[in-house]
């Protein structure tokens, strides 16, 4: 009679389960391998190697149970080696390379607030996969796959997007450790897309280091797929030029038209009111891509709160603006719209039609097109876009 803790048949069953899990985890292994191919940062490579190693360990352990004794011993030893190396790699990605949070003295800040706009004790989840893979590498994985799932983006466009993303994030990495250390909030976008709870009061804030308050504010609403740190990196140049702060709330995957979108903006307006370094009476509302929906709905809900509005490659809801402002006296405004003429996702004709609609209801709306640029013009032409916004904000007309 077998007196050990596990009979041979039990051990075989366990190895069969491991083999099945290893096979089922093949898509995970494929993604880990893709990460190893596209990653430019060591934290991402380490995490990818760790995940790939665990899958290999499970497969080898399972195969050991189906092999003859001599081969099974060899496979088991290799499996344990993979498991140990993977554990070391994953722990390294967690403790050595994974991003943390910003210092209280950094101009660029990670901020968590409660419903009343006061600082909240929420902590960054450093065990999240989105924390263990650098944001630039998450974007690289996305651009490697996007041409397969997005009819508007072919391989050539995907490569161009990848190039402009890397240029922005490499500039960030070389100049600002605070941005790198801040961690990524793309996990909130993934949770939103999975229909899980994603709101945790997170946002980014930037204040020029050489200035004291109260500073005017650019309240920036991110686009689809999350609150990229690259947005803040590009926009902080505008903040430095104009002596203003940037506040950028996170709202999952950027579906600002969904329940909670306007309420999130309102929460961050309360944050601006509570922070003595910010001038809550001088706030410019801005949005990019799907953030245009948030601009539309927030602006119509509380037009008196904003001194101006800026939209970049926006998704407009002109009919909502028309219904809200057609009989307003004085009308809301002014507004600046910036768009690329080669934006296949949001055609220029759609934008110019919306601009004309906005002008018809009495809002002063200035339009600037960028010839040959697509939906990602903020990253491909950051200097030109920022310069145009700077000049417009300096010279903008006042509300009629």
Handedness of CA 313, 225, 382, 205 (dihedral sign): positive
Q: Which of 65, 97, 129 is at the close of a domain? A: 97
Q: Is 123 left (phi over 0), alpha (psi -120 to 50) or beta?
A: beta
Among candidate residues 94, 103, 57, the one with its CA nearest the CA of residue 76:
57
Query: What is the 3-state composition of the chain as percent helix, strand, coil, each rounded to the nearest 5?
Result: 55, 15, 35
CB 189, CB 254: distance < 8 Å: yes
Q: Is the pTM of this model over 0.75?
A: yes
Inter-CA distances, 286 with 7, 55, 167, 315, Å:
66, 44, 23, 12
Can you give the CATH number for the domain in which 196 is found?
3.40.50.1820
Inside any domain, residue 278: yes
pLDDT (tens, 9 = 90+) of the chain, 400 residues, equals: 444 555 666 655 665 565 565 566 678 888 888 999 999 888 888 888 888 888 888 777 777 766 667 777 887 888 888 888 888 887 777 666 656 677 778 899 899 999 999 999 877 777 777 888 889 999 999 999 988 888 888 899 999 999 999 999 999 989 988 888 788 889 999 999 999 998 889 999 999 988 777 999 999 999 999 999 999 999 999 999 999 999 999 999 999 999 999 999 999 999 999 999 999 999 999 999 999 999 999 999 999 999 999 999 999 888 888 888 877 766 777 999 999 999 998 999 999 999 998 898 888 999 999 999 999 999 999 999 999 999 999 987 655 4
d(CA 393, CA 307): 10
The total number of residues written for the chain in this structure: 400
Residues 35 and 87 in one domain: yes
Residues 386 and 260 in one domain: yes
Structure tokens at 368: 């600037």
Inside any domain, residue 173: yes
Q: Which of 40, 72, 97 is at the close of a domain? A: 97
Inside any domain, residue 242: yes
Residues 295 and 381 in one domain: yes
Residues 286 and 389 in one domain: yes
d(CA 50, CA 88): 8
d(CA 35, CA 32): 5
Q: Which of 49, 64, 97 is at the close of a domain? A: 97
Residues 212 and 335 in one domain: yes
Residues 200 and 228 in one domain: yes
Inside any domain, residue 66: yes
CB 133, CB 34: distance < 8 Å: no
Inside any domain, residue 1: no
Structure tokens at 295: 């601009």
Residues 198 and 159 in one domain: yes
Inside any domain, residue 400: no
Domain count along the chain = 2
Q: Residue for token digits 């050539």?
A: 156
Other C-beta atoms lying within 10 Å of the C-beta of residue 212: 8
Q: Residue 1: what pLDDT? A: 41
Residues 287 and 188 in one domain: yes
Other C-beta atoms lying within 10 Å of the C-beta of residue 112: 16
Inter-CA distances, 169 with 177, 233, 291, Å:
11, 8, 21
Residues 139 and 44 in one domain: no
Q: What is the DSSP string of 5-38?
A: SS-HHHHHHHHHHHHHHHHHTHHHHHHHHHHHHH
Residues 162 and 247 in one domain: yes
Helices 26-38, 135-149: axis angle to 10 degrees equals: 110
Q: Which domain holds residue 35?
A: 8-97
Residues 67 and 215 in one domain: no
Inside any domain, residue 102: no
Structure tokens at 288: 């990019």
Structure tokens at 146: 């996007």
Inside any domain, residue 115: yes
Residues 218 and 295 in one domain: yes
């Amino acid at each position: 009679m077998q007196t050990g803790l596990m009979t041979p048949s039990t051990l075989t069953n366990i190895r069969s389960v491991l083999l099945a899990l290893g096979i089922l985890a093949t898509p995970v292994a494929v993604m880990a391998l893709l990460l190893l191919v596209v990653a430019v940062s060591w934290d991402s490579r380490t995490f990818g190697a760790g995940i790939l190693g665990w899958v290999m360990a499970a497969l080898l352990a399972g195969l050991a149970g189906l092999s003859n004794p001599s081969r099974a011993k060899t496979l088991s030893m290799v499996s344990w080696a993979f498991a140990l190396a993977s554990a070391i790699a994953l722990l390294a990605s967690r403790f050595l390379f994974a991003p943390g949070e910003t210092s209280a003295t950094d101009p660029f800040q990670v901020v968590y607030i409660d419903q009343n706009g006061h600082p909240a004790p929420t902590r960054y989840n450093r065990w999240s996969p989105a924390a263990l893979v650098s944001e630039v590498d998450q974007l690289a994985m996305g651009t490697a796959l996007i041409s397969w799932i997005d009819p508007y983006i072919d391989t050539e466009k995907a490569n161009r997007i990848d190039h402009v993303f890397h240029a922005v994030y490499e500039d960030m990495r070389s100049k600002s450790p605070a941005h790198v250390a801040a961690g990524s909030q793309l996990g909130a976008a993934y949770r939103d897309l999975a229909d899980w709870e994603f709101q945790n009061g997170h946002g980014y804030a930037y204040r020029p280091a050489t200035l004291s308050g109260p500073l005017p504010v650019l309240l920036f609403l991110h686009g689809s797929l999350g609150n990229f740190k690259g947005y803040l990196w590009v926009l902080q140049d505008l903040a430095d030029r104009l002596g203003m702060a940037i506040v950028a709330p996170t709202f999952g995957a950027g579906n600002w038209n969904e329940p909670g979108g306007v309420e999130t903006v309102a929460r961050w307006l309360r944050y601006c009111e509570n922070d003595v370094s910010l001038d809550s009476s001088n706030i410019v509302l801005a949005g990019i891509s799907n953030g245009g929906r948030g601009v539309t709905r927030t602006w119509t809900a509380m037009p008196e709160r904003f001194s101006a509005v800026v939209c970049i490659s926006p998704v407009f809801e002109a009919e909502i603006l028309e219904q809200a402002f057609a009989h307003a006296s004085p009308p809301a405004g002014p507004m600046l719209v910036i768009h690329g003429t080669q934006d296949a996702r949001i055609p220029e004709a759609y934008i110019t039609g919306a601009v004309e609609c906005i002008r018809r209801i009495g809002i002063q709306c200035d339009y600037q097109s960028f010839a040959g640029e697509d939906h990602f013009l903020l990253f491909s032409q950051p200097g030109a876009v920022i310069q145009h916004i700077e000049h417009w904000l300096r010279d903008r007309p006042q509300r009629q």
